[in-house]
Amino acid sequence: MISRILLALALLLSAASVVFGDYREEFEKGFLTKTWSGEQPAENFCIECHSSDAMKPELLTIAEEWKASWHARHKIACHDCHGGDPKDAALAMSPHRGFVGKPTPAEVPDFCGKCHLGIVKQYWDSGHGKAFRASGKGPNCTTCHGSHNIQKAHIDIINEQLCTKCHTYDRARTMKQALFLTEKKIGELEKEIDRLKSEGVFVDDDAKNLFSIQAEFRTLFHSIDVDLIKNRTDEFSARISALEGRIRNLFRELAYRRNFSAFILLVFAGLGATLYLFSKTPKE
């Protein structure tokens, strides 16, 4: 009789470990696909030589700045922007290996735009792009983002110190206000998705969805067209609300799962107690 109860218990336990096994697997899947968990680019000659004593002191900070950048995290290294061959120390900076050197200010937008296609298009069509092309008086990408220490974009790039270099802050302020609410909502959803991920919930599709909404929304800034931004904000609000609904549901499911785990634990505790009492019952 006891052996049968033990067998039943063993079966139950193995079933439970499958439940927890899934949970763990999902957790790891969520964790390992997080963008920031990607490995750093392998050591290469551009970085080695540019960080060495051989480098001119005024250029030494570049590798350090780059290492702290959003690009470094996403494995965009020196040669991805400047060309050249990071695996061959002698010919690393040879034009025959695709090295293009340092872009002139006028070349910067297309230099960055070979990867940021949507943005460079918005930019050239904007008041800034047109002024930059006509007279060099508009800002280019590096005026606002820097070149090596480029960080994840944020609405706070729009600030009085930067935006009053060439004109008054009025239009910049209006733009920031128009962008603020949507940006705030996106930031909150990002945190909630991260929280769900750390709880082991599989939210990759939602993360991707949010990422593409965010990317599209942020491209919009570069038009510096206040009316356009105001008009399109409604459309973005609707898309964000839909995603918000899904996230709420996932939180509800998570709460349910927690209760379920607690329930399973209780069942085990009950079973354990029964088994204990049973084993104490005197045998005839």
Assess 133 for contact with ligand HEC (CB under 6 A): no
Q: Interaction with ligand HEC in 192-221: which residues (CB under 6 A)?
A: 214-215, 218-219, 221
Min dist CB 264 to ligand HEC, Å, is 41
Selected binder of ligand HEC within 23, 27, 113, 190 (CB under 6 A): 113
Q: Interaction with ligand HEC in 75-94: which residues (CB under 6 A)?
A: 76-82, 84-86, 89, 92-93
Selected binder of ligand HEC within 9, 108, 228, 275 (CB under 6 A): 108
Min dist CB 265 to ligand HEC, Å, is 42
For the chain, the helix, strand and coil percentages under 3-state DSSP, each to the nearest 5: 70, 0, 30
Assess 127 for contact with ligand HEC (CB under 6 A): yes
Assess 252 for contact with ligand HEC (CB under 6 A): no
Tell me which stretch binds ligand HEC (CB under 6 A): 6-14, 63-71, 243-251, 257-265: 63-71
What is the C-alpha separation between 179 and 153, in angstroms, rounded? 13
Min dist CB 75 to ligand HEC, Å, is 8
What is the C-alpha separation between 146 and 130, in angstroms, rounded? 20
Total binding residues toward ligand HEC, as defined by CB under 6 A: 79
Tell me which stretch binds ligand HEC (CB under 6 A): 1-9, 57-65, 187-195, 236-244: 57-65
What is the C-alpha separation between 101 and 93, in angstroms, rounded? 8
Assess 236 for contact with ligand HEC (CB under 6 A): no
Assess 123 for contact with ligand HEC (CB under 6 A): yes
Assess 137 for contact with ligand HEC (CB under 6 A): yes
- Of 71 and 250, the one with the shorter C-beta distance to ligand HEC is 71
Min dist CB 180 to ligand HEC, Å, is 9
Min dist CB 262 to ligand HEC, Å, is 39
For residue 258, give both structure tokens: 């927690």
Q: Interaction with ligand HEC in 142-181: which residues (CB under 6 A)?
A: 142-145, 147-148, 150, 152-155, 157-158, 162-163, 165-167, 171-172, 175, 179
For residue 224, give both structure tokens: 């510096």
